[in-house]
């Protein structure tokens, strides 16, 4: 049974954040708010939790297009090869924000992602998920719970999300109504930024 925990973005309660972090550290799955759609995530260092998410999404873990939710850009070198100044300027300009940036992965990636040449990095403009990641001390591996086929209410209403995911996750963080527009995905692995998916983030900022 998933516990529904209300956390306010303006002033996230440290005790509630700590409760979420403990669940993540113990290999639990959490649904939480971002600056776009609600996300389903787990601790990047917990392989069994990663496998659970891949199973829920019906994908093989080594081929899954999961994002790494980071608190800020300070840990980028843990997972990403050295990037040039122009690329870093784009990241600084857009993050925190509703973007997923595809960047070249390095050899420090967790074993399950070792074969990957690229990683998707997110720093959402949402204080709740960034606080969770900050307290956890490493990224959350995340995928959106958005239904790809249609816009439906359960993906924006935390209580309906809890009903649908009750038997699959440990905690649903109620951070208020979510959005139904996913992040803009931009590939920064080539000389010119390439928009792979236009979402909530403006592409004019490029």
Q: What is the predicted pLDDT for the residue at 118?
A: 95
Residue 115: its pLDDT value, please?
A: 85
- The length of the chain is 206
Closest to 98 (Cα-Cα) out of 202, 187, 194, 195: 202
The parts of the chain modelled with pLDDT lower than 50 are none
What is the predicted pLDDT for the residue at 149?
54
Check residue 62 and report its DSSP letter: G
Domains (ranges, CATH) in the chain?
Answer: 3-205 (3.90.870.10)
93 three-state secondary structure: helix
Q: d(Cα 91, Cα 100) in Å, to the nearest integer?
A: 10
pTM: 0.94
């Amino acid at each position: 049974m998933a516990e529904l925990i209300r956390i306010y973005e303006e002033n996230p309660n440290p005790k509630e954040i700590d409760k979420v972090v403990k669940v993540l550290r113990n290999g639990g799955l959490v649904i939480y708010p971002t600056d776009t759609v609600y996300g389903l995530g787990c601790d990047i260092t917990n392989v069994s939790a990663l496998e659970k998410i891949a199973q829920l999404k019906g994908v093989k873990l080594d081929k899954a297009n999961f994002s790494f939710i980071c608190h800020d850009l300070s840990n980028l070198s843990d997972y990403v090869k050295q990037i040039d100044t122009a690329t870093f300027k784009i990241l600084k300009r857009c993050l925190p924000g509703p973007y997923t940036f595809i960047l070249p992965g390095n050899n420090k990636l967790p074993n399950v992602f070792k074969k990957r040449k690229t990683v998707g990095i997110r720093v959402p403009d949402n204080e709740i998920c960034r606080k969770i990641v900050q307290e956890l001390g490493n990224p959350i591996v995340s995928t959106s719970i958005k239904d790809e086929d249609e816009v439906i209410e359960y993906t924006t209403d935390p209580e309906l999300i809890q009903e649908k995911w009750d038997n699959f996750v440990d905690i649903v963080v109620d951070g208020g109504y979510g959005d139904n527009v996913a992040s803009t995905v931009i590939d920064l692995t080539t000389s010119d930024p390439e928009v792979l998916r236009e979402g909530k983030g403006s592409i004019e900022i490029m």
